[in-house]
Structure 1
């Protein structure tokens, strides 16, 4: 069975109450449950992990052998964590970078992602749909639908 690891970065445990005008009212548990349901329908295994600590994200990426993809919302670490960027570059598991808000429409310092150059793709600005679109892409890719493989 194919497997996906979803990594949530700092402050995402506060979703639903933290700056709802930017991030909405959906909680992290709601997002995980939506993704779990989507993965189950596609017969894909899925695991979730959230931490507020950069080094723990690095550890999880380094321990990702056995997963087919990682969906990563590195949150604030997106903009400056060379350690996370290097961990992604150092493993064979492809990463889809996601953001709930459109980082390109926000403060200038949020426009740059040090992760994007080593990620297979980036999806931002669709709220919960960013995660769902990432998983949809992964499902179609694993089924050979993307890139005219079928």
Structure 2
């Protein structure tokens, strides 16, 4: 009989992306990591907090440009309602001022959405150990000191 090679406790992930992408490959790719378990996927920002309260993820990955409640507002709501959940905000491109606003919500990471899954997995593991993770390209788009 095959053995399950997952650790005793997997990292619980909530993915929040626009509905066209939600059922795509990111959940599948992250689910292939032996220590990750995608416990929820939502397609709008309006449903992020309710799902997080139900499934208690360790990390939430939020699309900056989600329909309904945007990624920044959803990140701030998670900070208030589910403070133990670490938040990574994903974007397709960085604009001046985004990094500051993302970090002001309490998010601990800001990454390019189409980063290789290995980089995303490394970022998820990093934020669980207290790191703040920012894609260098997004940091470069920020005017002046980012923090």
**TM bucket by the smaller chain?**
0.5 to 0.7
Name the structure with the higher helix share. 1
Offset of residue 141 of structure 1:
5.5
Structure 1 equivalent of residue 71 of structure 2: 78
1:31 equivalent among 26, 30, 43: 26
Deviation at 1:75, TM superposition (A): 2.2
String of CA shifts for 1:16-65, please: whole Å, max 9, x gaps. xxxxxxxxxxx84222211111x22xx3323240223x331121233353
Question: How many matched pairs?
Answer: 119
Q: Which whole-Å CA distance do the structure 2 matches of 1:29 and 1:55 have between them?
A: 20
The alignment status of 1:121 with 2:109, answered yes or no, reads yes
RMSD: 3.4
Please point out which of 50, 56, 68 is paired with 1:59. 50
Q: Which protein, 1 or 2, shows the higher relative CO under an 8 Å CA cutoff with sep ≥ 6? A: 1
CA deviation string 1:85-137 (max 9, x = no partner): 133233211111112x11327xxxx947754321011112x5143x6533222
* Unaligned runs of at least 5 residues, structure 1: 16-26
Distance 2:64 2:11 in 1: 20
Q: 1:134 to 1:89 in 2, by over 3 A?
A: farther
Aligned to 1:50: 42
Alignment partner of 1:135 is 2:127: no
Q: What TM-score results when the alignment is normalised by the length of structure 1?
A: 0.58
